Amino acid sequence: MGEAFAPERARRPAAVRFIFVTMLLDWLVVGIVSPVVPTLIVQFMGGKMDTASLISGSIGTAFAVMQLIASPILGLLSDRFGRRPVILISTAGAAVECLILALAPNVWWLFVGRVLTGITTASATASAAYIADVTTPEKRAAAFGLVGASFGVGFAVGPAVGGLLANFGLRVPFYAAAGLMIASTLYGLFVLPESLAPEARHKEFAWARANPLGSLKLVRRHRDLFGLVIALFCSNLAVQSFSVFVLFTIYRFSWSAVENGIGLGFFGAITVVAMTLVGKLIARFGARAVVVAGFGLGAIGFLVYGFAPTGIIFACALPLTGIWAIAGAPVQSAMSQHVTASEQGELQGAIGSMRSISQIIGPAFFSLVFALVSAKGIYPLVGAPWFFGALLLVGAMIFAVRSIGAKGAPAIEAGAVT
């Protein structure tokens, strides 16, 4: 990455820990409010489930759309002004948004709060660029894996915490989430150093490159990114198949809310463990082997989901899909090694845009597929959403393996031009 980052790398353990804590809190906040917002919407709608469902879906779509728009903007802002201010302003903004949700007098204020949350959670692009700044190429996948584990922790713990706090009042989880984000902001003010040296920053902010889809032009400038981009998009889209997880298990196995909570929590726990082992696995077996194992086991897990005749067999596949998480970090690390230091924010913005696109189209697609096949009620046709997910992961594996060499993608110097 160049000598400009040597001073900050001396402090990278503390910096990486902060980014991990920041993203962990982000996902915890998302998880904490996720079971509460729909309940509050139902309350605002006087118990009308059909209306509440439509509003809840609209708010979810708006959340993803704002992430799509904000991801490249925040990534480019971090390339221009540095990672630290973008991250800190976003965490402070998230605290304000949680307070808006806590005080919302009607559903429209809930909508405003969730839209603003979609913007600030897009700061993950700056956090990922920060990781690329402060780690060497050979250590980068392990760092991405550690930070990626924050998603698993938030996914496993957040909803349970939100549900527990809701017992004390529907607004309590929002106040707790605001407190977490305030603590994160204060922590960052005293702990987080800047990672992007002034001489490595873009001299101006180009709105043309902040276009949500325009940010993908980065791939045109670095054509060796194409296969990795496709792999990551297929993986992100496959994740959205979990939007039918609860519906599927209720339909096929009559699982209760408790059983679904345990299942999703177990999946999240496996994801956390898998992500913390990414560095060691790559050091032992190489990036390509880790990618094959991750995507391959994930695809097998999806096939078991679809064909499972009992809930027990379905549950036995949860570790396989949890292990799938190890594939994302080496792919993202390889992508970061194909661009210059001043393009890391733009790259992470493009990655964020792809993730948001998958969050917009994925749930609608998989829900439609499940609605169509469940109406037929033919086994194993009802497993079609999982079969599509398996197909996506096989495609991701093929594109990733073709793009990552036996020892991973070669790093480039900060001033190199691809």
pLDDT at 4: 40
pLDDT at residue 323 tops 70: yes
In angstroms, rounded to a whole number, what is the distance separating the alpha carbons of residues 40 and 157? 20
Kindly tell me the number of DSSP H helices and DSSP E strands found in the chain.
Answer: 21, 0
Tell me what the mean pLDDT of segment 20-30 comes to: 80
pLDDT higher at 263 or 92: 92
pLDDT at residue 318 tops 90: yes
Residues shown for the chain:
418
Q: Which residue has the tokens 């560095």?
A: 279
In angstroms, rounded to a whole number, what is the distance separating the alpha carbons of residues 294 and 55? 36
pLDDT at 53: 59
Helix, strand, or coil (residue 254): coil
pLDDT at residue 148 tops 60: yes
Question: And the tokens for 296?
Answer: 């391959």
| Domains of the chain, first to last | 3-190+209-403 (1.20.1250.20)
Query: What HEC string does 273-288 produce?
Result: HHHHCHHHHHHHHCHH
Confidence category of residue 57, pLDDT binned at 50, 70, 90: low
Q: Note whether 372 and 263 are within 8 A (CB).
A: no
pLDDT higher at 410 or 418: 410
Confidence category of residue 14, pLDDT binned at 50, 70, 90: low
pLDDT at 211: 66
CB atoms within 10 A of CB 126: 34
Tell me what the mean pLDDT of segment 316-327 comes to: 92
Query: What's the burial of 254, exposed, middle or buried (CB within 10 Å: 0-12/13-18/19+)?
Result: exposed
Nearest to 21 by CA among 193, 184, 134, 190: 184
Helix, strand, or coil (residue 196): coil
Nearest to 144 by CA among 132, 154, 152: 132
pLDDT higher at 236 or 193: 236
Tell me what the mean pLDDT of segment 97-117 comes to: 89
Q: What is the mean pLDDT of the chain?
A: 80
What's the distance, Cα to Cα, between the start and end of the chain in Å? 14
pLDDT at 320: 94
pLDDT at residue 49 tops 70: no
Nearest to 402 by CA among 293, 239, 291, 237: 291
In angstroms, rounded to a whole number, what is the distance separating the alpha carbons of residues 242 and 244? 5
pLDDT at residue 296 tops 60: yes
Tell me what the mean pLDDT of segment 184-203 comes to: 80
pLDDT at residue 58 tops 70: yes
Of 27-31, 225-229, 299-303, minimum mean pLDDT range: 27-31
Q: Note whether 245 and 259 are within 8 A (CB).
A: no
pLDDT at 12: 59
pLDDT at residue 237 tops 60: yes
Confidence category of residue 417, pLDDT binned at 50, 70, 90: very low
Express as a percent the part of the chain with pLDDT over 90. 18
pLDDT higher at 54 or 373: 373
Confidence category of residue 334, pLDDT binned at 50, 70, 90: confident
pLDDT, tens digit, for every residue of 210-234?
Answer: 666 655 667 667 777 888 888 999 9
Helix, strand, or coil (residue 132): helix
In angstroms, rounded to a whole number, what is the distance separating the alpha carbons of residues 360 and 367? 12
pLDDT at 411: 38
pLDDT at 391: 97
Q: Could you check whether the bond before residue 363 is cis, i.e. omega within 30 degrees of 0?
A: no
In angstroms, rounded to a whole number, what is the distance separating the alpha carbons of residues 346 and 364? 28
Question: And the tokens for 345?
Answer: 């924010």
Quick check: pTM over 0.75?
no
Express as a percent the part of the chain with pLDDT over 70. 84
CB atoms within 10 A of CB 208: 8
pLDDT at 274: 87
How far, in Å, are 5, 23, 85, 242, 253 from residue 314 at the CA level?
47, 30, 45, 13, 9
pLDDT, tens digit, for every residue of 356-414?
Answer: 788 788 877 887 788 788 777 788 888 999 999 999 999 999 999 988 864 454 433 33
In angstroms, rounded to a whole number, what is the distance separating the alpha carbons of residues 306 and 387? 6
Q: Note whether 411 and 141 are within 8 A (CB).
A: no
DSSP summary character for residue 10: T
**What are the start-end ranges of the E strands in 169-322?**
none
Nearest to 176 by CA among 193, 160, 195: 160
pLDDT at residue 74 tops 90: no
pLDDT at residue 182 tops 60: yes
Helix, strand, or coil (residue 397): helix
pLDDT at 213: 65
